[in-house]
Amino acid sequence: MSGRVVVVAAGRSPDSEALAMTPGSSARKPHVVFTPSGRSGAVAEGTTVLDAARVLGVDLDSVCGGRGICGRCQVVPSLGSFPKWAIEATADALSPSNETEAAYAGRRPLTSAARLGCQAAIRSDAVLDVPPQSQLHGPVVRKSIDVGDIVLDPMTTLHAVTIPAPTLDERRGLAQIVIEQLGAEWSVAVGGTLPSALGGLHRAVAAGDGLITAAVRWSGTEPLDRTGSLAAVWPGVVTTALGIAVDIGSTTVAGHLTDLQTGEVLASAGRMNPQIRLGEDLMSRVSYVMMNAGGDAELTALVRDALAELVVELCTDAEADPEMVVEVVLVGNPIMIHIALGIDPTPLGQAPFTLATDSAVEIEGPQLGLPCPAARVYVGPAIAGHVGADTAAAVLAGGPHRSDEITLLVDVGTNAEIVLGSSAGLWAASSPTGPAFEGAQISCGLRATPGAIERVRIDPQTWAPRFRVIGCDLWSDDPGFDDAVERTVAVGSRSAAAGVTGICGSGIIEVIAEMFLAGVLSAEGVIAAPPACDERSARVIADGRTFSYVVYEPPPHREGPTITVTQNDVRAVQLAKAALRAGIDLLCERADIRAPQQVQLAGAFGAHIDPVRAMVLGLIGDCDPEAVRSVGNAAGTGAVRALLSGSQRAEMESVVSEIRKIETATEPRFQELFVAAMALPHATAPNPLLGAEIELPERTVAHGTDARRPSDTGARRRPRHRRSR
């Protein structure tokens, strides 16, 4: 009997009685040690390495059932003296290479030092190394996304089985024959057949000439309690099962294609959510459904088309077949998930914001229009009406529930999700920040595209700005900047536009924080012009009844927009940051936490925020800037973790069930905190830790207004804070 070793999903433990079935005599049996696990034991002479690994509970992979086809059971013999185990390992510890190994031509090359575990027989004491690529639950190969340290525990496993030739006397159906062969050849108990397996069953058996690969999907939260179902079949031996993790954001839809057996991320891709054309933020899309008959179906069709296109793009990039995608994990905010599943989202547009379900949902891929006939889609659990599976996935990735330190996790987007707490308990809320942080509602704002200003520094003496744009490493005061940015943007963007085109979200944060530090802005967010004779006056221009700050004017010989920050821009950012800060402060109050010990900024926007400037703006409370870090696309990372491991799904569901939810929309205290948070950095909260990093302007009142006096020269940076280029 041969098969996959230590398959957690199958709920099987090693069978110690298997020793009795191996060949050998009553003489001393060879002692074998497997590294890096250190598992060891005596086995009968002539036992294959694969069978010895199974008996000893060693994590050695196999898909082809010991036929020497898949190449996943490779081991590397270690030669020499090993006093720790009292072993002298020699070159003849394993049987010589046989014809099967000589003819092996699988996708995983067999090096001169390696042996196929299913073919090599143990002759004497041996020390055998199981490389990471041969470990079913081995280290994850990381590519473009870091999933951290997890044990691979896929919910779908592959098993090659032999199907006997049909006869007229056979009374069993083909699916039942496959199920019984899985039990006979793999000791895998399969309880039924999913519809996705039936359509191609006859074709697979005929094309495979009696040898097929069956995909078994496991259900259940604990490995030993899982039950299996026949999910798909393919002719011959198939060694790769694919999975896709997708984060459906209100702005972007991002996905990662992975090899479920290795954990390797094969491709990553993203695209704009096409629903944007029907509403910039979540509530505007709910309003669209309310105001337009059939609006819900239109939104559903848009996002499902985007998902299908994303699947095709990922598979094309990895030169993979969508039919080999057997697992999909979807996360997103509740409104996005409701729309994707075809559920009316309008109850989430008004109190009490009732979810159709807060539990995880499983559905077949074709039901969502995905070009993956064998795929099962797992939709993560939601936390509250406006805190969804994307936040649950971010928690899984960021791990605040695994830490004793008080952690603040913030995913900044059109709707900011906030989680606060530690292993002692978590609190969660959302704040309606709107699209200002993504460049919308800003006069010269745009999303993160080539040519968008992303970094800004302002001289406190002259108010002259210098900046850097996406796609160019030079700062605006570096020689050759204008030529470089024209070339970079013309190549990097599909549009005809070139040069400096606007300000993206991270640039908005920085320019307003720098305007405050330099004295262009008062603590109340008022742009006040200096006297006309002041050299700084060239940077501030009249704009109706208010003023605007000029960030960039194209050189005389070049065309392009003049980029300014208007008083309305400042107000839009103040409203967004006050909503976020009020949500954070409310959670701190309700959790009785004075301040977090570490801050995790999630999402594409969070990845590019300068922590000090974010604190100057008052986006987050006072803390050590060194404790603020980006965790990247935490929702996508958590989704990949849930894709690769059923145990991770169980952990996510367990954590979500314990999170305490605060609904900011119905909390009277939220409004009070919101008003106080409008000021820069804050109307009342002290900032000693930020003040130790960078010197903040003193709050002053000018001639009956809240604006800074024109004579102010702005902030003086403390020497220990190095201004970045």
- DSSP string computed for 619-663: SS-S--GGGEEEEESHHHHHHHHHHHBHHHHHHHHHHHHH-EE--
Say if residue 90's pLDDT is above 70: yes
**Pair (659, 689) in one structural domain:** yes
**Pair (29, 119) in one structural domain:** yes
What is the percent of the chain with per-residue pLDDT over 70, rounded to a whole number?
87
Q: What CATH number does the domain containing 221 carry?
A: 3.10.20.880
- Considering 235, 251, 279, which residue would you say is the last residue of a domain? 235
Distances (CA, A) of 635 to 46, 143, 262, 688: 49, 16, 21, 32
Say if residue 667's pLDDT is above 60: yes
> Coil, helix or strand for 611?
helix
Between CA 9 and CA 332 the distance in angstroms is: 26
Say if residue 78's pLDDT is above 80: yes
Yes or no: say if 151 and 124 are a contact pair by the CB < 8 Å rule: no
DSSP 495: S
Residues 627-664 have pLDDT tens digits of: 988 887 889 999 999 999 998 999 999 999 999 998 88
Predicted local confidence at residue 555, as pLDDT: 82
Q: Which tokens go with 659? A: 């999170």
Predicted local confidence at residue 582, as pLDDT: 93
**Pair (170, 82) in one structural domain:** no
**Pair (584, 644) in one structural domain:** yes
**Pair (53, 163) in one structural domain:** no
DSSP 153: B
Say if residue 577's pLDDT is above 70: yes
> Rounded mean pLDDT of 19-37?
66
Residue 420 within a domain: yes
Look at 65-79, 161-175, 488-502 and tell me which has the smallest mean pLDDT: 488-502
> Rounded mean pLDDT of 85-113?
88
Yes or no: say if 400 and 426 are a contact pair by the CB < 8 Å rule: yes
**Pair (558, 610) in one structural domain:** no
Residue 353 within a domain: no
> Coil, helix or strand for 423?
coil
Q: Give the count of alpha carbons within 13 A of 429, CB side only.
A: 27
Residue 215 within a domain: yes
Q: Which comes out higher in pLDDT, residue 656 or 603? A: 656
Between CA 150 and CA 156 the distance in angstroms is: 17
Closest listed residue to residue 578, CA positions, set 618, 538, 551, 608:
618
**Pair (448, 561) in one structural domain:** yes
Predicted local confidence at residue 224, as pLDDT: 62
**Pair (580, 545) in one structural domain:** no
> Rounded mean pLDDT of 459-483?
90
Spatial strand order in the sheet of 425-431? 628-632, 598-602, 407-411, 416-422, 425-431, 660-661
**Pair (130, 110) in one structural domain:** yes
Residue 715 within a domain: no
Predicted local confidence at residue 292, as pLDDT: 83
Give 202: exposed, middle or buried? Use CB within 10 Å, 0-12, 13-18, 19+: exposed
Q: Which comes out higher in pLDDT, residue 642 or 271? A: 642
Residue 347 within a domain: no
For tokens 């009844």, the residue is 545
**Pair (415, 455) in one structural domain:** no
Domain limits at 533?
444-565
Most confident of 148-152, 236-240, 340-344, 441-445: 340-344
425-431 and 660-661 strand pairing: parallel
Between CA 369 and CA 324 the distance in angstroms is: 16
DSSP 243-298: EEEEEE-SSEEEEEEEETTT--EEEEEEEE-GGGGG-SSHHHHHHHHHHSTTHHHH
Q: What CATH number does the domain containing 64 carry?
A: 3.10.20.30
- Considering 170, 202, 235, which residue would you say is the last residue of a domain? 235
Predicted local confidence at residue 493, as pLDDT: 40
Q: State which amino acid sits at residue 324.
A: M
Say if residue 226's pLDDT is above 80: no
Q: Which tokens go with 152? A: 């691979």
For the chain, helix (H) and strand (E) counts, in that order, are 18, 29
Q: Which tokens go with 65? A: 């059932």
Residues 551-564 have pLDDT tens digits of: 998 888 777 788 99
For tokens 């870091």, the residue is 146
Predicted local confidence at residue 341, as pLDDT: 95
Say if residue 327's pLDDT is above 60: yes
Predicted local confidence at residue 178, as pLDDT: 87
Q: Which comes out higher in pLDDT, residue 158 or 138? A: 158
- Number of separate domains in the chain: 4
pTM for this model (two decimals): 0.79
Residue 701 within a domain: no
CA angle 437, 429, 385 (to 5 degrees): 100
> Rounded mean pLDDT of 691-713?
57
> Rounded mean pLDDT of 189-195?
86
Predicted local confidence at residue 695, as pLDDT: 86
Say if residue 139's pLDDT is above 60: no
> Rounded mean pLDDT of 290-318?
92
Yes or no: say if 107 and 239 are a contact pair by the CB < 8 Å rule: yes
Residue 251 within a domain: no
> Coil, helix or strand for 552?
strand
Q: Which comes out higher in pLDDT, residue 111 or 578? A: 578
Mean pLDDT computed over every residue of the chain = 83
> Coil, helix or strand for 116?
strand
What is the percent of the chain with per-residue pLDDT over 90, rounded to a whole number?
38
Residue 160 within a domain: yes
Q: Which residues contact 269 (CB under 8 A, 6 or more apart)?
A: 254, 255, 310, 313, 314, 317
Q: Which residues contact 17 (CB under 8 A, 6 or more apart)?
A: none
Residues 195-215 have pLDDT tens digits of: 888 888 888 888 877 888 888
- Considering 515, 533, 565, which residue would you say is the last residue of a domain? 565
**Pair (216, 128) in one structural domain:** no
**Pair (114, 27) in one structural domain:** yes
Q: Which comes out higher in pLDDT, residue 58 or 517? A: 517
